[in-house]
């Protein structure tokens, strides 16, 4: 998209009131003026009021300035669900420093790529989490990026912030159109695509995600999944919940038993979960039987397609409304609404949450197909970005010249109500529990696996994962077949620092790989075989 058209769109969004002329830090201050000493966040270990969140984030901003960070600098943050994460982010927002998200599950290849593409000046990382030690990862990043300023989250949490006072004249003020945060999307080489979200478009998304699920000042919002995943920040997530005036609870571990415990303990009204976590929570509820989840009014289910059977089971088991969510870090979000019919909730993914977003269904030539017919979903609007950060070649591949984002998803618009149904992927990217994995990356990692002649990775539809990762291997003649086990292959990949969410879920050994008429691997046949459970 050329700059002139982008400027026209920005001016239009501002003129129509879809984009507000303030930043995340300014929005937080407005909330503090309204809610004062009311509790904003609880993370199981401490709680913090709106006023205290402003005070601590201002002090954290002063600390970052003292370490040499300035407006426009990027800091990669690999942290967990806790109040200090919010303090760090709002501290960066205050002075125009840009948080760049990294998941706790990311390892050397992903973090190196994120740092390299973003041109980060700093890296905040936890020391350990769920038995994983990150100090060696930090050491490796320091070797690969000698000028990078490494900060451990534990040390930042121990800083005496009372020693730091923010001088309003000591930093450049960010603007509403400036980049607020850089979030992640899937990547074709194992390195996530980076998505720069401005203050305006990100605040717009948070507002309308909150409205779509009926969140307000009476709500208690549970953030159960990793907060460094865009949905858990913006859908409405951490930021949207705070700005809606809700009491926001952060689950540190995100296990099904902790989720149910927090719902009961804090009288949670709204929670966002992937289908597998919904199923796990229901299993516990059905087994234990005496957990009080009667406070729940809404469960958002997204990250992967939710089957009608699971949606029905969730509504009955939790005795509340569910909202099917279809969204992405690039900003486009659809949802079903609390007052929608049972049929709409069970069998559709709703409609765009933003009143300014434009949804189109197009054929391979970008021509709109008739309503009711299937095609690729593309979208543009005040919540949707128009490029990838630092990747013009990816921008050219995923965005049209007039700024529509190509989702790569096949869908259709229902004639009877305009709601959208997602029908699958037009690309080969695997969507496992909301994480995006490219088969080519795993195939590259396994190209040198001992005695493997041919390796192929495909998705397979899965009722709990959305899609599982299926690995096909044709061994070399005379190879010892005992070395081809799922456990041995996962160990091999772990030694090469592959992120855990990219590990194969299913292994199928084949005598011959099926080929198309032109001699290429027939991935469709392999996927069909995977979905039948193998040979």
Tens digits of residue pLDDT in 194-246 = 999 999 999 999 999 999 999 999 999 999 999 999 999 999 999 999 999 99
Q: What are residue 83's phi and psi, to 5 degrees?
A: -65, -35
**Mean predicted lDDT score pLDDT of the chain:** 93
Topology of domain 433-531 in CATH is: GMP Synthetase; Chain A, domain 3 (3.30.300)
Q: How many residues does the chain have?
A: 535
pLDDT band at 187 (very low <50, low <70, confident <90, very high): very low
- Residue 188 is predicted with a pLDDT of 43
When pLDDT is averaged across residues 486-490 and rounded to a whole number, the result is 95
When pLDDT is averaged across residues 34-49 and rounded to a whole number, the result is 97
Residue pLDDT, tens place only, 395-442: 999 999 999 999 989 899 999 999 999 987 666 678 888 887 878 788
- 412 near 375, Cβ under 8 Å? yes
pLDDT band at 42 (very low <50, low <70, confident <90, very high): very high
Owner of token pair 């490796």: 140
- Cβ neighbours for 136, distance < 8 A, ≥ 6 positions apart: none
CA dihedral 262, 265, 270, 276 (to 10 degrees): 30
Poorest-pLDDT segment among 230-234, 500-504, 520-524: 520-524
Kindly provide the b/e burial profile for residues 313-327, where b requires at least 16 CB atoms within 10 angstroms of the residue's own CB. Answer: bbbebbebbbbbbbb
- 239 near 233, Cβ under 8 Å? yes
Q: Which helix (H) or strand (E) holds 361?
A: strand 358-362
DSSP 497: T
Residue 166 has pLDDT above 90, yes or no: yes
- 272 near 278, Cβ under 8 Å? no
CA dihedral 10, 14, 18, 20 (to 10 degrees): 110
Nearest residue to 225 (alpha-carbon basis) of 187, 271, 176, 178: 271
- Residue 34 is predicted with a pLDDT of 98
CA dihedral 395, 467, 210, 256 (to 10 degrees): -140
Distance CA 207, CA 489 (A): 44
When pLDDT is averaged across residues 284-293 and rounded to a whole number, the result is 92
- Residue 423 is predicted with a pLDDT of 85
Distance CA 18, CA 12 (A): 9
pLDDT band at 518 (very low <50, low <70, confident <90, very high): very low
Distance, CA of 310 to chain centre: 22
Domain borders along the chain are 1-13+355-427, 20-36+44-197, 433-531
| 3 state SS of 2 | coil
User: Looking at domain 20-36+44-197, which of 3.40.50.980, 3.50.50.60, 3.90.650.10, 3.90.1150.10 is its CATH number?
Assistant: 3.40.50.980
Nearest residue to 446 (alpha-carbon basis) of 457, 435, 462, 430: 457
- Residue 307 is predicted with a pLDDT of 86
- Residue 350 is predicted with a pLDDT of 97
Residue 531 Cα distances to 51, 468, 486, 527, 534, angstroms? 53, 9, 17, 6, 7
Residue pLDDT, tens place only, 89-126: 999 999 999 999 999 989 999 999 999 999 999 999 99
Distance CA 294, CA 486 (A): 41
DSSP 502: G
Q: Which helix (H) or strand (E) holds 527?
A: helix 523-531
Q: What are residue 58's phi and psi, to 5 degrees?
A: -65, -45
What sign for the dihedral angle of Cα 85, 124, 253, 434?
positive
Bridge partners, 380 (sequence order): 358
Strands 452-462 and 466-475: antiparallel
Owner of token pair 């799922």: 486
- Cβ neighbours for 528, distance < 8 A, ≥ 6 positions apart: none
Nearest residue to 38 (alpha-carbon basis) of 239, 245, 210, 238: 245
Nearest residue to 195 (alpha-carbon basis) of 207, 204, 208, 186: 186
Residue 303 Cα distances to 135, 240, 344, 506, angstroms? 30, 18, 18, 21
Answer yes or no: same fold for 20-36+44-197 and 433-531: no
CA atoms within 13 A on the CB side of 489: 29
Residue pLDDT, tens place only, 330-352: 999 999 999 999 999 999 999 99
Tell me how crowded residue 93 is: count the other CB atoms within 10 A of its CB: 25
pLDDT band at 535 (very low <50, low <70, confident <90, very high): very low
Tell me how crowded residue 157 is: count the other CB atoms within 10 A of its CB: 15
What sign for the dihedral angle of Cα 307, 310, 316, 320?
negative
Of the two residues 20 and 478, the one the predictor is more confident about is: 20
Residue pLDDT, tens place only, 246-283: 999 999 999 999 999 999 999 999 999 998 899 999 99
- Residue 222 is predicted with a pLDDT of 98
Looking at domain 1-13+355-427, what is its CATH homologous superfamily? Answer: Luciferase; Domain 3 (2.30.38.10)
Residue pLDDT, tens place only, 443-454: 878 988 999 988
When pLDDT is averaged across residues 70-96 and rounded to a whole number, the result is 98
């Amino acid at each position: 998209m050329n700059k002139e058209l982008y400027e026209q769109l920005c001016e239009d969004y501002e003129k129509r009131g879809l984009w507000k002329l303030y930043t995340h830090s300014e929005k937080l201050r407005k909330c503090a003026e309204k809610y004062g000493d009311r509790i904003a966040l609880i993370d199981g270990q401490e709680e913090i009021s709106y006023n205290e969140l402003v005070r601590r984030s201002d002090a954290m901003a002063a600390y970052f300035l003292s370490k040499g960070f300035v407006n426009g600098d990027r800091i990669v943050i690999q942290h967990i669900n806790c109040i200090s994460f919010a303090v760090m982010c709002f501290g960066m927002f205050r002075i125009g420093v840009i948080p760049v998200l990294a998941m706790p599950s990311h390892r050397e290849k992903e973090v190196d790529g994120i740092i390299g593409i973003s041109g980060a000046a700093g890296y905040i990382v936890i020391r350990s989490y769920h038995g994983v030690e990150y100090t060696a990862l930090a050491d490796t990043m320091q070797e690969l990026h000698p000028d990078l300023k490494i900060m451990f989250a534990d040390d930042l949490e121990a800083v005496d912030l009372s020693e730091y006072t923010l001088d309003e004249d000591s930093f450049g003020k960010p603007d509403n159109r400036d980049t607020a945060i850089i979030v992640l999307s899937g990547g074709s080489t194992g390195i996530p695509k980076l998505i720069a979200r401005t203050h305006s478009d990100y605040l717009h998304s948070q507002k309308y995600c909150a409205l779509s699920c009926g969140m307000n000042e009476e709500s208690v919002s549970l953030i159960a999944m990793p907060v460094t995943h865009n949905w858990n920040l913006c859908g409405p997530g951490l930021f949207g919940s705070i700005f809606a005036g809700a009491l926001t609870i952060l689950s540190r571990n995100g296990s099904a038993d902790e989720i149910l415990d927090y719902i009961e303990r804090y009288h949670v009204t709204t929670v966002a979960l992937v289908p597998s976590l919904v199923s796990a929570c229901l299993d516990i509820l059905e087994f234990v039987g005496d957990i009080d989840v009667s406070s729940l009014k809404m469960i958002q289910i997204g990250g992967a397609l939710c089957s009608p059977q699971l949606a029905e089971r969730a509504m009955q088991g939790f005795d509340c409304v569910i909202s099917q969510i279809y969204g992405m870090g690039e900003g486009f979000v659809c949802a079903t609404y609390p007052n929608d019919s049972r049929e709409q909730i069970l069998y559709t993914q709703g409609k765009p949450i933003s009143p300014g977003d434009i949804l189109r269904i197009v054929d391979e030539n970008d021509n709109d197909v008739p309503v009711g017919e299937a095609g690729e979903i593309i979208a543009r609007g005040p919540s949707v970005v128009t490029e990838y950060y630092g990747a013009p070649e990816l921008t050219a591949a995923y965005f049209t010249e007039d700024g529509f984002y190509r989702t790569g998803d096949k869908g259709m618009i229902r004639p009877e109500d305009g709601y959208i149904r997602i029908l699958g992927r037009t690309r080969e990217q695997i969507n496992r529990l909301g994480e995006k994995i490219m088969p080519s990356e795993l195939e590259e990692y396994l190209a040198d696996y001992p005695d493997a002649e041919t390796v192929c990775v495909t998705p397979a539809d899965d009722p709990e994962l959305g899609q599982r990762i299926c690995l096909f291997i044709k061994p070399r003649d005379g190879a010892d077949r005992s070395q081809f086990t799922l456990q041995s292959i996962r160990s091999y990949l772990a030694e090469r620092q592959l992120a855990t969410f990219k590990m194969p879920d299913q292994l199928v050994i084949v005598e011959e790989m099926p080929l198309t008429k032109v001699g290429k691997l027939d991935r469709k046949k392999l996927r069909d075989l995977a979905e039948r459970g193998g040979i």
